[in-house]
Amino acid sequence: MQKLVDRIERDANYLGKGIIKMDSFLNHQVDIELAEQMAEEFCMRFSGLPAVTKVITVETSGIPVAVFVARQLGVPMLFARKSKSLLMQENYYTAETVSRTRQTKTGLYISGEYLTVNDDVLFIDDFLATGQSSIALMDIIKQSGAKVHGLGYIIEKPQEGGRQKLAHFGVQIESLAAVTWQDDELKISFG
C-alpha cells in the first residue's frame, strides 16, 4: 500500500534487532485517516472471504484499524486482552505468547461469551514478525470452535518467518507493507 510505504519511509525509526518505531502514526499516536485507508485496503483484499461475523485484534495498536474494518463489514470488533481482568471470571480461552517490545511472556485472553462455534473471524493486527502472537490467537480461536478466514497485518517482517509458520492454517494472509533490514538500514516494500 503506497501511502503506508511512504509513511514508513518518512517517519519510522529503526532501533536495531528488528525493532521499528512507528509511534508517530501507528503504535502510540495514531493517524486516523491512514488507519481508515488501511482498513479499506484490508476490506478490498479480503472481499472474497465468506461472510465475517467478527473482527478480532490484540490490544492495543491493532485496535484503530480493526475498528474501521469492523465498521465497514458491519460486525463487532473483539480485542484479545494481554492480561486477565477481574471481569473475566470463568469461561475464557487463553494461550501464551511473547511480547517483542517488552521481552516478557504474555497470555492472550478472549471471553467464551463473545467467541463461539458460530463465528467467522477476520483477524487484524499491527505486525507479522515471528508469528508467535498469531499462533497463540489461532489456538484461542480453535478452542472456541470459531473459524478464521483471514489474517491481515499492517506490517510484515519477512525475515522473521511468520508467514511460513502460519501457512499450514490454510487461510488468506495479507500484509500492507513489508519491512526488512540489513545492518542499520531499513528497506520498505509492498506487502
Q: Which of 81, 79, 83, 44 shows the shortest CA–CA distance to 64?
A: 79
Return the residues of window 116-155 that contact a copy of itself according to CB under 8 A. none
- How distant is the alpha carbon of residue 16 from its chain centre? 22
Nearest by Cα to 155 from 69, 28, 42, 78: 42
- Using rule CB under 8 A, residue 67 touches a copy of itself: yes
Beta bridge partners of 173: 151
Nearer to a copy of itself among residue 51 and residue 87 (C-beta): 87
Q: Does the protein bind a copy of itself through residue 164 (CB under 8 A)?
A: no
Should residue 91 be labelled a site residue for a copy of itself when binding is judged by CB under 8 A? Answer: no
**Applying CB under 8 A, which of residues 2, 60, 116, 189 lies at the interface with a copy of itself?**
60
Any contact of residue 96 with a copy of itself (CB under 8 A)?
A: no
Q: How far apart are CA 184 and CA 147, in angstroms?
A: 40
Q: Return the closest-CA partner of residue 72 out of 27, 114, 34, 41.
A: 41
- Cis bond leading into 60, ω under 30°? yes
Distance in Å from the first CA to the final CA of the chain: 7
Q: By CB under 8 A, is residue 98 in contact with a copy of itself?
A: no
11 contacts a copy of itself (rule: CB under 8 A)? no
Given candidates 8, 41, 42, 64, which one binds a copy of itself under the rule CB under 8 A? Answer: 64
Asked if 3 interacts with a copy of itself (CB under 8 A), we say no
Return the exposure string of 53-76: e unless at least 16 CB atoms fall within 10 Å of the residue's CB, then b.
bbbbbbeebbbbbbbbbbeebebe
Binding residue for a copy of itself (CB under 8 A) from 86, 105, 117, 184?
A: 86
3-state DSSP assignment of residue 88: coil
- The single residue among 10, 47, 48, 87 that binds a copy of itself, judged by CB under 8 A, is 87
Q: Return the range that interacts with a copy of itself (CB under 8 A); candidates 22-30, 127-135, 153-161, 164-172.
A: 22-30
Query: Binder to a copy of itself among 5, 49, 78, 171 (CB under 8 A)?
Result: 78
**For residue 159, what is its C-alpha cell?**
525475515
The residue ranges that bind a copy of itself (CB under 8 A) are 15, 19, 21, 23-25, 27-33, 35-36, 54, 59-60, 63-64, 67-68, 70-71, 75-79, 81, 83, 85-88, 101-103, 110-111, 113-114
